[in-house]
Structure 1
Amino acid sequence: MNVRISAIASVAVSLMTAGCGDGGGVQTASPQQPTLAEMCTTSTMQKAMPTGVTVKDIPNLWTSLPAVFRATKGGVNLLAENALGDGAPAYCLVTGSFVTNSVTGKTANFAAGFPAADKWNGKYLQIGCGGNCGNVGESGAPNPAHLRAGFAVWQTDDGHVDGSIAATGTSLESDSSWAVSSPGVQNTDAVQDYLHRAVHTMAVLGQHATASAYNVQTVKRSYFMGCSDGGREAMVEATKYPLDFDGIVAGAPYNPRKNHPNTMTRALVQLRSTSAQLSGAQMKLVASAMTTACDAADGVTDGLIQNPNACNFNPRKDIPMCAAGAAGSDSCLSSDQIDSVAAIVSAARDQTGSVLAAGWSPGTLADAADTAAFPSQPAAGPDPFGPQPYLTMFNDWAFSNYTLKNIVFNGDPKYDGRTTLGQTFGLSDPADPSTFHVTFPSQTTGAIQNAFLNGTWDDPAALAPFIQKGGKLFMYHGLTDPYLNANNTVTYYENLASAEGGFAALKKNVRLFLAPGMDHCQGGAGPNAFVSQYQQFSPTIPFDPQHDALASLDNWVGTGQAPDSIIATKYTDDDSTKPVSRTMPLCPFPAQAHYSGSGSPADAANWSCADGDNSMLRLGTAGTLAGMQ
């Protein structure tokens, strides 16, 4: 990816609408490359930075990172080989701030990891931030695999500091109070940084600074990798700033106008009454009933469901129901509780009956037990779980409700999550009790759309420039993700295929991989290790095109060879120091992994992805209820 110095030599951060080159740049080696020690000083790094960037210590490095990593002095820290015990080569950590709005002087914070000049591969890698961000290093220290491969790695806090750092000394990422200047008044600068500006600005200046630090004219290629809100950032980059990156990995992309109806439905349907609430054990009962009904449909009973939407699961028929008038228990649900399940797995609709957001797969409820089940009996009023639940928990209400309050309704003191959204529940077919669902009025959906306008990405036409320039997009989503609904990602990809002339044409540039049994960005009962992003939390995997999303993307961009599958690995306890318990190929949608019929289902060698397979398009009752048509 070319980053032309002349394009950003002026105030770099004033180029909010500028791209970063034509993707054809070739990194040119300098005969005088600095040593790592020579590079890793405040003065040297400051000289490499474009106008508007200040190298300095910052207050919001991810709080759980090791002290030896956080010990920057003047914004630099020379990490010795294996300094964190992770096998990483020596590198220079640089922190500081950059101006995002040259008119107001608004800034965001950043951190960057620079390998030694003789180890640098000429490539730039930017990592996205999750939740509502507010910290730097949410994915952990730069991943050893990325540093060994030679990437320069950058991250930003999206232009604000997470309030939970001052309140508890812990980065939680669910604070959204920064979006409000005063009750009812939006902090426009902070919101625009979060939605799009900070990430794009850093893409421009970061590539320039990286080239400058290594005394070359341009970086060779540029990549972005993010999951959750980082996935949203990835998709915004692809659709709003298509020239910024050559290749993008977008995991479980947060879609505000769809995901908030999803998460709020899951909470609001249970707030109807005490009898409508579901315990964690009852959510697991629902998931167990779904597994019983669906597991064998993919040809093998192995605890994983390859296509949950093909399942003929109906809450009214398949969940054990208690006797009429009896309260729910761990072995059966009351009628009101089954209505709650029906609304959760059914599409959220607008007043015309059109689908606003797809329903959840029932299998997500087992993994939502700790996030969507109420931690206590809700109190009366607009804050049923306390005025600042984000300080202690990260669940549907703590994140979604307060994000809506602060970003959509500008911290309006009259906002009440129970009523302000105007939701109603009822049957779409009076003769069919399984059609219990939520309806949101147009003013609510319009308000969400308008508030997140510069941070939305799901218009299929918006990706056309990225595709036309030859960009490559590797999308993935766990099928048991309890935070962000994979069905919304599937719907987008299907719509994208229609806009681009079909799946075969689309897959030349964009591929979606769905992971059975994988939770939100990582973890879960199924094979989930195929993305080397989360240094602190994810198992180590081989950094090659067969096992790692970034390595696969780099190979795709560099050689034109698209990934026909990627091997996902399940380690015992998700700990790569323990034995591998399962491997499985993930297939590019709409293909589904098929078991050969013999050999261990835990071995990827006994599964295959077939060209032209459209098995993931099959729908059963679950898919129909979810609005997947």
Structure 2
Amino acid sequence: MRTRLRGRRSSAIVSAIFAASAVAVSGCGGNDVAPANAPTVTLAEMCTQAYMQRIMPAGATVKDIPNALTYLPAQMRTTKGGTVVVAENALGDGAPPYCVVTGSFVTNKESGKTANFGAVFPAPGKWNGKYLQFGCGGNCGSVFEAGPPTVAHISSGYAMWHTDDGHVDRSIAEKGFSVEADPTFAVKAPGVPDTDALDDYLYRAVHSLSAVGKQATAALYGAAKVDHSYFLGCSDGGREAMVEATHYPDDFDGIVAGAPYDPPAAHTNWMTRELVQFRSPAAALSDAQMQLVAKAAASCDASDGVNDGLDQNPNACVFNVRTAVPLCAAGSASDSCLTQAQMESVSAILSAVRDTSGNTVAAGWAAATLTSNESFFYEFPSAPLTLTGRDPFGPEPYLSMFTEWAFSNYILRDFVYAGASDYNGTRSLGMSFGLGDPADASSFQATMPTTTVQRITSAFQKGLWDDPAALSSFSSRGAKLIMYHGLTDALMNANTTIRYYRALAAARGGYGNLQKDVRLFLAPGMNHCVGGDGPNAFLNQYNAKGWFAGPQVPFDTDHDALAALQNWVEKGTPPKSIIASKYADDDASKSVQRTMPLCPFPSKAQYNGSGAINDASNWSCPESDTSMLNIGAAGVRAGM
């Protein structure tokens, strides 16, 4: 997901929901010797349309494409026939030279359906034998969504591949920039789904590319096959990562899945936050009121035992908006209090959503997300034109903004209701609000009809991953999975990921067994995929300046999740912790303000009691710790 930040948060564009990008990689490290039969051509000779076309498998065509990410530097966008050499240090980052290749590949032989791809290849003799595939964020529709290759990845010698998931983002042609929120590719006409396009997006393009990319990469460098393959993704890229692990366990040896998008839970969460505020003008939350609530929610910091500005376990908090924030006098409204309807809105946001049978459809948000500078997602982008009409913020807002309404409502319209002309997100879902316990004013919550839940689940079925049993084949072949999620992610609910991992542990007979091949790392103070007030840099992934970028970190097993994963896959050493860093302005060229170890769930970082709180060396991850399983009143309300 991508979104334009509003108001005091800046006008920069942020990758949101699925902001996610998946990366497929092979092997560890970057100093492997090239295969003995590697080609002796130069990079310039290799990086031509004719040469690259010769090594492509059937169905793959090297050519220019219309949807390379619009925030890419010109050096990567000026392909000629589908290839271009990016010179050494061309982007001022010290990277060695590399070849960029674009084109298309067939995803459905029967229909001839294709998806576009982008690939980056190191010079002959510099390939490390590994395959690295990135996924895509939001509704995708562009290639190289993660940006130019990071110095860490290209210097280590990875061959890297990306796909647009089988369609072109309309905002590129109509608005001149990539938003990746356009859902209209999912329908041919009102009421008629485009199943070919949906299949590509939900599962097929990423899976098909893994075969095409590995075969082409091996052929290019004269190898029988790639040594190892890995996948890295966050948000929708995290969903793609989990779909690969659960549906196609043989595609990758190791996967990093960040903030994975779970469509039924995510859309329930987002539409709850929107529809509870659509009840009346008095129910909507202003920016100033959100800051008021955030200030009160910051008290949860102390619940983890250390007053350091970070809440290690938000679900252990006892936050209750009705006792923490003043109630406005009847008939009045102010930035220093909440109306009764606004109290109800906050309560519904923090409470689990249940279906009409009483089952939890989506966990509530943790109070910590209210403190995030992403909390503007809780607010309306502007005053709605209507509270009951089909387009409260005007037609097709997804082409120019990436807010929850612009993104979620229209995905539901096109993915779930096949673009039906009578779909109205303010009414069609049947969501209702009320007290879960008539005697408890704090129990205001949302209820989703069971039939609506079933309809959403059915529409996304081929792209779901939340069945714990579905991961068994991936694990049984020795593949490894690292999951991560920011605890102040206000776009993708970390509680959804936590609930899945807990269910996975129950299915595996406990966390000890599960951690042999799957580990979850939660980052306090981290937002959606990147950024946040806490240490948030522990992975080289996003590098699209002005779009979605994260600070680059040392590519070693202590500081980079992908390097840690490769060490686990290839040497059998699981990561006991990953050190996260907080750079000034989230810019790796500036000073490090804080470091902290991220611990495998259910443990959390423990301060040793002396030394600088901002120094990771004064924290530890006790292996026997299970304190992340401690749940307070806020966690109970959230369905945890």
Question: Could you tell me the TM-score, scaled by structure 1's length?
Answer: 0.94
Residue of structure 2 aligned with 1:445, choices 443, 453, 458: 453
User: 2:350 aligned with 1:350, yes or no?
Assistant: no
Match of 1:482 among 464, 467, 490: 490
Give RMSD over aligned pairs. 1.4
Alignment of 1:295-444 (within 5 A): 295-327=301-333, 329-367=334-372, 368-380=374-386, 381-444=389-452
CA contact (8 A) 2:521 2:598 kept: yes
Is the 2:63–2:103 contact (alpha carbons within 8 Å) kept by the matching residues of 1?
Answer: yes
Which of the residues 118, 128, 137 maps onto 1:111? 118
The amino acid that maps onto 1:319 is V
Residue in structure 1 matched with residue 576 of structure 2 by the alignment: 564
Distance in 2 between the 1:324 and 1:621 partners?
28
* Residue 603 of structure 1: aligned partner: 615
Name 2:211's counterpart in structure 1: 204
State how far apart, in whole Å, the 2-side matches of 1:31 and 1:491 are.
47
Q: Aligned partners of 2:610, 2:432: CA distance in 1, in Å?
A: 50
Higher RCO (C-alpha 8 Å, min separation 6): 2
The amino acid across from 1:304 in the alignment is: L
Alpha-carbon separation, structure 1, partners of 2:155 and 2:306: 39
Of 27-36 and 388-397, more deviation after overlay is shown by 27-36
User: How far apart are the structure 2 equivalents of 1:353 and 1:449?
Assistant: 17
1:588 is aligned, of 600, 624, 628, to 600
The question of whether the paired residues in 2 share the 8 Å contact of 1:28 and 1:217 is answered with no
How far has the Cα of 1:249 moved from its partner?
0.5
Q: Distance in 2 between matches of 1:54 and 1:47?
A: 10
1:152-551, aligned counterparts within 5 Å? Answer: 152-292=159-299, 294-327=300-333, 329-367=334-372, 368-380=374-386, 381-536=389-544, 537-551=549-563
Residue 33 of structure 1, CA deviation: 4.0
Tell me the equivalent position of 1:621. Answer: 633
Alignment of 1:11-90 (within 5 A): 29-30=36-37, 32-90=39-97
> Does the 8 Å CA contact 2:38/2:223 hold for their aligned counterparts?
no
Residues 515-562 of structure 1 show CA distances to partners (whole Å, capped at 9, x for unaligned) of 000000000110000111101211121000100011111111110100
Residue type of the partner of 1:365? Answer: L
Q: Secondary structure at the match of 1:165?
A: helix
Q: Is the 8 A contact 1:518 1:528 kept in 2?
A: yes
Q: Report if aligned partners of 1:69, 1:84 keep a CA contact under 8 Å in 2.
A: no
What is the one-letter code of the residue matched to 1:312? V
Deviation at 1:28, TM superposition (A): 5.0
Q: Distance in 2 between matches of 1:347 and 1:283?
A: 20
How many residues align structurally?
604
2-side partners of 1:127 and 1:557: how far apart? 19
SS of aligned partner of 2:378: coil
Amino acid at match of 1:567: I
Shift of residue 316, structure 1, vs aligned partner: 1.6
SS of the residue corresponding to residue 237 of structure 2 reads: helix
Per-residue deviation, 1:30: 1.1
State the distance in 1 between where 2:141 and 2:506 align: 37
SS in 1 for 2:375: coil
Residue in 1 that maps onto 2:158: 151
Decide whether aligned partners of structure 1 residues 542 and 31 sit closer, same or farther in structure 2, where only a CA change above 3 A counts.
Answer: closer
- Given residue 466 of structure 2, which amino acid in structure 1 is its aligned partner? D
CA contact (8 A) 1:595 1:608 kept: yes
CA shift, 1:331, in A, is 1.6
Report deviation, 1:319. Answer: 2.0
Give secondary structure in 1 for the equivalent of 2:172: helix
| Alpha-carbon displacement from aligned partner over 1:232-269 (angstroms, at most 9, x marks no partner) | 00000000000000000000000001100000000000
Paired position in structure 2 for 1:554: 566
Deviation at 1:119, TM superposition (A): 1.2
SS at match of 1:198: helix
> Tell me, which stretches of 5 or more residues in structure 2 are unaligned?
1-23, 28-32
- Whichever residue aligns with residue 323 of structure 1, its letter is A
> In 1, distance between residues paired with 2:290 and 2:508?
39
Q: What secondary structure is seen at the aligned counterpart in 2 of 1:585? A: strand
Matched position secondary structure for 1:393: coil
Per-residue CA deviations over 1:498-519 (Å, capped at 9, x if unaligned) read 1111101100100000000000
Contact map agreement 2:135 2:237 (CA 8 A) in 1: yes
Which residue identity lines up with residue 629 of structure 2 in the other structure?
L
CA distance in 1, matches of 2:315, 2:557: 29
Query: What are the Cα deviations for residues 364-421 of structure 1, in whole angstroms up to 9, with x where unaligned?
Result: 1243432231122212211101111112221110110011101111100100000000
2:7 — aligned with what? Answer: none
Instruction: Describe the superposition over 1:162-204 as per-residue Cα deviations: whole angstroms up to 9, x where unpaired.
Output: 0100110100011101111111111111110000000000001
Q: CA deviation at 1:281?
A: 2.0
Residue 347 of structure 1 deviates from its aligned partner by 0.3
Match of 2:141 in 1: 134
Corresponding position of 1:11? none
Quick one: distance in 2 between partners of 1:282 and 1:596? 37
The Cα offsets for residues 81-130 of structure 1, whole Å up to 9 and x where unpaired, read as 11111221111100000010111111000000000121111000001100
Q: Is the 1:286–1:362 Cα contact (8 Å) retained in structure 2?
A: no
Whether 2:586 is the aligned partner of 1:574: answer yes
Rounded to whole Å, the distance in 1 between the matches of 2:274 and 2:443 is 18
| Alpha carbons 1:351, 1:440 under 8 Å: kept | yes
- C-alpha distance in structure 2 between counterparts of 1:339 and 1:596, whole Å: 40
